[in-house]
Amino acid sequence: MGISIRAPFAGWSSALGEIPDEVFARAMLGEGAAIDPTGNELRAPCDGEVISIAAARHAVALRAPCGAEILVHVGIDTVTLGGEGFTLHTRKGERVHAGDLLISFDLDLLADKARSLVTPVIVTNSERFRVVRANLDRALGAGDVLFELEATDPAATRPSSTEPAAAAGSSGARAVVSEAVVVAHAQGIHARPAALIARIAKSLPYELEIRARGHAANPRSVVALMSLGVRGGDELVIAGFEAAAAAGIAQIVERVRTLDGAEPAPQVHAPRVASIQDDPAFQPASHATRPCGVIASRGFAVGPAFPFQIDEPVVIEQGGGVAAEAAALERARHHVRARLQERAGSATRAVRDIMNAHLELLDDPQLTEVARAAIEAGKSAGFAWRASLAASAAALLATGDQRLGERAADLADLTRQVLHALGNEEGGRALLPARAILIAQDLTPSQLIEIDTTRLGGIALMAGGPTSHVAILAATFGVPMVVSLGAAPRGVRAGAEVILDAEAGVLLTAPDAADLDAARARVAQASARQAQDAAQAQQAGRLASGERIEIFANLAGSSADTRFAVAQGAEGCGLLRTEFLFLDRATAPDEAEQRRCYQQVADQLGALPLVIRTLDIGGDKPIPYLPLPAEENPALGLRGIRTSLWRPEMLDVQLRALLAVRPAVRILLPMITDVAEIAIVTRRLDGLCRELGVARPQLGAMIETPAAAMLADQIAAVVDFLSIGSNDLAQYGLAMDRGHAELAARIDGVHPAVLRLIAATTRGAARHGRPVAVCGGLASDPGAVPLLLGLGVTELSVVPSFIPRLKALVRALTFERCRELAQRALELGTSAEVRELLRSLP
């Protein structure tokens, strides 16, 4: 007979996998379910004893009479509130009955300050109990059965001690080895750090004990660890009862030392330019109808909700014979391969890159070998293919790397495509109403490509990630997109008007009439402004005070991208990335292939300038045919020009191809740190020019490191132009990895330190009369543009779709005003102060 665990409050139930936090979603704390609350009182999900209450009052654990330990954790990242908004109605050690009030909380405050309100309800000793029935994807009332548990063995239902779980070896035994460590993590050992520690402890073959604040706990038990009440600054002692335990103790100590960087953090973004929350005419109706997520593609939209779901095909496990199933899988893969190749042939660069990535996965030897082995074991083609890709997806997720985890979505997409090719009807393109806000659990690249994006106002996903391939496509198509919204949008009625603010990461699911009027007015104003900007986009970029500012486009190499850029008013290409030719292939492109691709872009631009950057590859973007030495920190290793000088034969092939393009291109060298690197390239370039009988083209250097910025006067003396890569300059100038989730919000290119590096660059260039461009993300930041121009930048290179807006912005500025603003910004101390200065401007 099952053990019933009841909903602690009313709300919408969902699987753990839908929680926007990998520790909970991957069941690292245990199995269970989630519920998105509509009430503000947490009640006991079962009879039992309160065995743990979080110091921040956001989580409580009970031990049921059967021994099951149930953790209820209100929301995600609520530990950072430090107890604000929570009121306790119980205490540790108290015996309670199902339905007793344990915690009350301020729902509006949590909705405003927490990353998500979705609440996990988990059995933390799931090695003894399993979830057998769960009431998911439905509205539940407080006290309704959320899920049922079943003991994994008869002995599991023996009542446990009311004391915090202790290590088996600790009762009377003396520690043989131990090590102390101070917890630097500000919130101490709460649910997620406890899960990370417990995962290590469970993998070790010997018993350990963790001691803190006068108590001891079994490190394999999440609840026991939480029960210690460890806070930031407390000392832990990890003890073992045999000499061999020293290695395991060292692993846990290292994990505790790195907790700040090890656990998942909220998705954060640089300060927004504008959002619906900044509009005084707009006042949200209710926090409860404003699920917050992560911005994947910026924009703003209002329109009818379009819940989108494709039923997964039913797959039969047993096959109909090895030969028949193997042949069926080959036919299905051939069909999908042909379709991907057809899509790639006529698509933009972004779409083509994703289709090519799917083609590589489709023929991946590990995936196909595992599937064939399953077929030989008697499984059907569909079952074998799905199992193979699911195993690889799980391995990617298990790395804990967000970007690798998002690649698991590509495997899910490819699974679906092959299963449909095996005989399941995929259906036609979704018939969307005009301005539709598509709402889905997740979305794959192939599904988005099948949708008529001209009728798509925006996309709101309950799961997904901001660097997924579908997010890249949404940005390419210019469709606003917010991901990781949790389960809140699930109950939105088809056709109901909703507001998607992808500048603030908010979906308003129940706006009132005033909300809708303000939102529609904003959309109308934006449309009118876009039309006006587009009408004037072919005019030359020029300040209101008359100074010429060139507006170029960053390109990835396709004819479609180049034509679009010219149509948007691009005055040339300020950055053609050549990596697209070298990635996702087994061998390097030869000179003929490179020359053909570069010439294709030059032909589309005609007489307009074309700046081509040499290969910017390294440990951060590895390629299989260029095995790099192992690097602990690829960002500080072989990158850009360093890699090219390490393999000069590849550089020579690229330079030959560039010298053959007509009209002559400008060559840009990445990751320069001093003139010695430029001198080496110059000698090789001059030799090739003499050999080919051509004049040396203009040569430029990218300013991406503080070293290059400080030596800009020396570098400008030996090159024809400088181009600032603001993304890397900010990363290296602030010593913060721009791929680090916890630091992403702090890596802001308007930080005064970065602005001073830009100022040093323009001063150095001015001594030799060299122009300075910015081709990084800062050039597309409307707030930063006046600062860049005021510091002496004369060229901006941006994504093509932003060019009309950028030209309109430049036309409204005067140089004196920009210079005054830049000088004020240079005297400030933080990026927040600079952003506040920009917001205060009339």
Q: Token match 């050039």: residue?
A: 779
Phi then psi for 476, rounded to 5 degrees?
-65, -40
Q: Is the pLDDT of residue 334 over 60?
A: yes
In the chain, what percentage of residues exceed pLDDT 70? 84
Average pLDDT over residues 323-350: 82
How do residues 89-129 score in pLDDT, each as one tens digit? 998 889 999 999 999 999 888 887 887 889 999 998 877 88
The answer to whether 451 touches 428, Cβ cutoff 8 Å, is: no
pLDDT at 158: 45
Of the candidate ranges 69-73, 736-740, 766-770, 831-835, the one whose mean pLDDT is the lowest: 736-740
Of the candidate ranges 159-173, 480-494, 515-529, the one whose mean pLDDT is the lowest: 159-173
Band of pLDDT at residue 743, cut at 50, 70 and 90: low
Band of pLDDT at residue 329, cut at 50, 70 and 90: very high
Band of pLDDT at residue 131, cut at 50, 70 and 90: confident
How do residues 506-522 score in pLDDT, each as one tens digit? 899 989 999 999 999 99
Q: Is the pLDDT of residue 538 over 90?
A: yes
**Cβ atoms < 10 Å from Cβ of 366:** 10
Q: Is the pLDDT of residue 696 over 60?
A: yes
- CA–CA separation, 643 and 614 (whole Å): 11
How do residues 301-323 score in pLDDT, each as one tens digit? 999 999 987 656 678 888 889 99
How do residues 209-245 score in pLDDT, each as one tens digit? 888 866 778 888 766 777 677 777 777 888 888 777 8
155 burial level (CB within 10 Å; 0-12, 13-18, 19+):
exposed
Of the candidate ranges 337-351, 408-422, 618-632, the one whose mean pLDDT is the lowest: 618-632
Average pLDDT over residues 726-738: 86
Q: Is the pLDDT of residue 824 over 90?
A: yes
Beta strands in 64-118 (DSSP E): 69-73, 86-88, 95-96, 101-105
Q: Is the pLDDT of residue 760 over 70?
A: yes
Q: Which residue has the higher pLDDT, 159 or 397?
A: 397
171 burial level (CB within 10 Å; 0-12, 13-18, 19+):
exposed
pLDDT at 608: 96
pLDDT at 285: 36
pLDDT at 751: 94
Q: Which residue has the higher pLDDT, 25 or 794?
A: 794
3-state secondary structure of 4: strand
Band of pLDDT at residue 175, cut at 50, 70 and 90: low
**Helical H segments across 440-582, by residue range:** 445-450, 469-477, 513-535, 559-567
3-state secondary structure of 310: coil
Q: Is the pLDDT of residue 797 over 70?
A: yes
At 132, list the tokens.
């057998």
- CA–CA separation, 677 and 682 (whole Å): 9
- CA–CA separation, 247 and 237 (whole Å): 15
Highest mean pLDDT among 158-162, 173-177, 298-302: 298-302
Band of pLDDT at residue 173, cut at 50, 70 and 90: low
Phi then psi for 392, rounded to 5 degrees?
-70, -40
SS3 for 424-451, per residue?
CCCCCCCCCCCCEEEEECCCCHHHHHHC
* Element at 652 (helix H, strand E): helix 648-659
Band of pLDDT at residue 269, cut at 50, 70 and 90: very low
- CA–CA separation, 460 and 458 (whole Å): 7
pLDDT at 150: 87
Kindly list the catalytic residues. 469, 775
pLDDT at 783: 87
pLDDT at 594: 95
How do residues 637-689 score in pLDDT, each as one tens digit? 788 899 899 889 999 999 999 999 999 999 999 999 999 999 999 999 999 99
- CA–CA separation, 500 and 823 (whole Å): 37
Phi then psi for 186, rounded to 5 degrees?
-60, -35
| DSSP designation for 49 | E
Average pLDDT over residues 791-796: 97
pLDDT at 47: 94
CA dihedral over 336, 342, 343, 345, signed as positive or negative: positive
**Side chain identity at residue 544, one-letter code:** A
Band of pLDDT at residue 286, cut at 50, 70 and 90: very low
The answer to whether 699 touches 669, Cβ cutoff 8 Å, is: yes
How do residues 67-96 score in pLDDT, each as one tens digit? 898 999 999 878 778 788 899 999 888 999
- CA–CA separation, 70 and 45 (whole Å): 8
pLDDT at 398: 55
- CA–CA separation, 39 and 108 (whole Å): 10
pLDDT at 624: 67
Band of pLDDT at residue 406, cut at 50, 70 and 90: low
pLDDT at 583: 73
In the chain, what percentage of residues exceed pLDDT 90? 39
Query: How do strand 235-240 and strand 208-212 relate by DSSP bridges?
Result: antiparallel
pLDDT at 703: 97
Q: Is the pLDDT of residue 280 over 70?
A: no
The answer to whether 761 touches 724, Cβ cutoff 8 Å, is: yes
Q: Which residue has the higher pLDDT, 699 or 412?
A: 699
**pTM tops 0.75, yes or no:** no
Mean pLDDT (the chain, rounded): 82
pLDDT at 349: 61
- CA–CA separation, 327 and 25 (whole Å): 37
From the centroid of its chain, how far is CA 785?
26
Closest CA to 74 of 50, 103, 51, 45: 103
Q: Is the pLDDT of residue 170 over 60?
A: no
- CA–CA separation, 690 and 693 (whole Å): 5
3-state secondary structure of 345: helix
How far, CA to CA in Å, does 794 sit from each of 50, 722, 724? 66, 11, 11
Average pLDDT over residues 40-57: 89
3-state secondary structure of 108: helix
- CA–CA separation, 553 and 570 (whole Å): 6
Closest CA to 701 of 605, 602, 771: 771
Domains and CATH numbers, the chain: 3-157 (2.70.70.10), 168-262 (3.30.1340.10), 276-310+428-510 (3.50.30.10), 322-421 (1.10.274.10), 542-839 (3.20.20.60)
Highest mean pLDDT among 38-52, 162-176, 332-346: 38-52
pLDDT at 375: 93
CA dihedral over 295, 299, 300, 301, signed as positive or negative: negative
Phi then psi for 222, rounded to 5 degrees?
-60, -45
pLDDT at 419: 87
**Helical H segments across 606-701, by residue range:** 641-646, 648-659, 675-692
Average pLDDT over residues 793-815: 93
Highest mean pLDDT among 24-33, 445-454, 486-495, 716-725: 716-725
